[in-house]
Chains A and B, each alone.
Chain A
Amino acid sequence: MSSPFWRHYRTLVSQGIQAELADLERLVSPVLFALTTLLLFAFAIGDVEPALRVHIYLAETFLTALFALQINFSRLFEPDRQDRVFDLMRTYPVDHTAWFLAKYTLVLAMGSATLGPTLGFAAFVNQSPSQPLFSWVVVGVAAMALAGLAALGVLLSAMTLKANARQILYPLLYFPLATPVLLAAVQSSQLYLSSGQITADVRAWLGLLLGFDVIYITLGALLFTELVDES
């Protein structure tokens, strides 16, 4: 497996991870943002009668996840933007698909590092004696959502690399495109939690989520090359 593709992939992933570890702020700030957002939701929504608690919990969790992940995605190329590393990388014989996959893997890792605490903390603050809200199926749904969003995130990040007012432009492009993921995640989790098992409806929603993932991973790999080629 030492063909250039995998060598480039491993080199880029390990460099990406080291860049994250070298600058811990990049991992901590999205989590802090997520926890703050969850508190804001709790203060805004206040007490909820049990019937609605599950629905509110899921809405809060996935909205917070969507916002927090957006921070990870939009700052993905930050280390590469400094000192023209990104341009230099383009003059190196790097396989562009390996480059995309490396960035995708990296943002999956960063995303899980944000998603984990978000899901945990949301269940923790919203639970009640009768309703322990944490469920591994919801975590699975969140993982599927992350898989699609990450591909979209990498593509948008590379696309807006040279745009000015990037910080405000990114969410304006990301959120509308990500709505199907939010819908699918909340709906499938809610149907599961209310019925207790994977019904046909839940499977339908998960199928849509899977469709989104597949489309955006393939589009990502194809279109990333277009973004990185000359100039």
Chain B
Amino acid sequence: MEITKLSFAFRHRRLFHNLSLQVGAGELVHIAGPNGAGKSTFLATVAGLLTPAAGTVAYQGSDGPIQDRRDALEYLPAEANGLYLKMGATQNLQFWSRLRGLNLSPPEIWTALTPWNLNHPLLRDGFAVEKFSTGMKRRLALARLQLSPAVGWLLDEPVYGLDAEAMTIFTNMLSQHLAKGGFALMVSHDLLPFAGLITKTVVIGGKPGTVEAA
């Protein structure tokens, strides 16, 4: 993925300016910067939710440029998990995976729930997700991420609300994703678990959009 001279002004306030970045296979880019600097805005812009003031985001697939960035990216918002709160865990995962073109049967969905120990007969079906705890909702969102064939992950505070055990599951999942040639852009206040994985750091809000190799 190639980001060239991306800049974004929110309500006329310049958040990041002329930010350029190459992200290749297997790379984990850490988005650093003080609170309110625009880290989440940067991820949302790359995800296509916000119109950048200037600059482009280009996606270079192995067999040539990717037409629709949405095929290549899976986005995990910071303070939300994109779940139909009145519906069950399996229904949620089935919906998002079907939109990605995967036709998974319920048992296949259950196996995807297992690593996040959400694969309990009482929890996985007919149990509204709104009754889940914050950590359980986050784990369900991460299960969606794991199911997604998208090559690039845009992670906004992925470990928010996770306990230590879920944290290690996520770290393994992330390293497998990177090993398979995927990449990820991540905003995270807690960097300890990802020490070895980060290949680049982008500072937003400090010096204007510079890129330092970690």
* Chain A interface residues toward B at CB < 8 A: 4, 7-8, 11, 15, 18-19, 22-23, 79, 82-85, 87-94, 230-231
Contact = CB atoms under 8 A, between A and B. Distances in A.
A22 B87 contact: yes
B86 A83 contact: no
B68 interface: yes
Interface of B: 47-51, 68, 70-71, 73-75, 77, 80-87, 91, 95-96, 98-101, 128
A89 B80 CA distance: 13
Q: Interface majority SS on B: helix, strand, loop or mixed?
A: loop
A92 B70 contact: yes
A79 to B, nearest CB: 6
Contact of B50 (A79, A82, A88, A231): A231
Contacts of B68: 93
Contacts of B75: 88, 91
List 5 A-B pairs, minimum CB-CB distance, nearest first.
Answer: A88-B82, A84-B80, A93-B70, A22-B86, A230-B51
Contacts of B50: 230-231
A84 B73 CA distance: 17
B99 A92 contact: yes
B86 A90 contact: no
Contacts of A7: 98, 101
Nearest to B87: A22
Contact of B48 (A79, A83, A91): A91
Nearest to A93: B70
Contacts of B49: 87, 90-91, 230-231
A75 to B, nearest CB: 13
Given A23-B86, A84-B77, A93 B128 contact: no
A15 B81 CA distance: 17
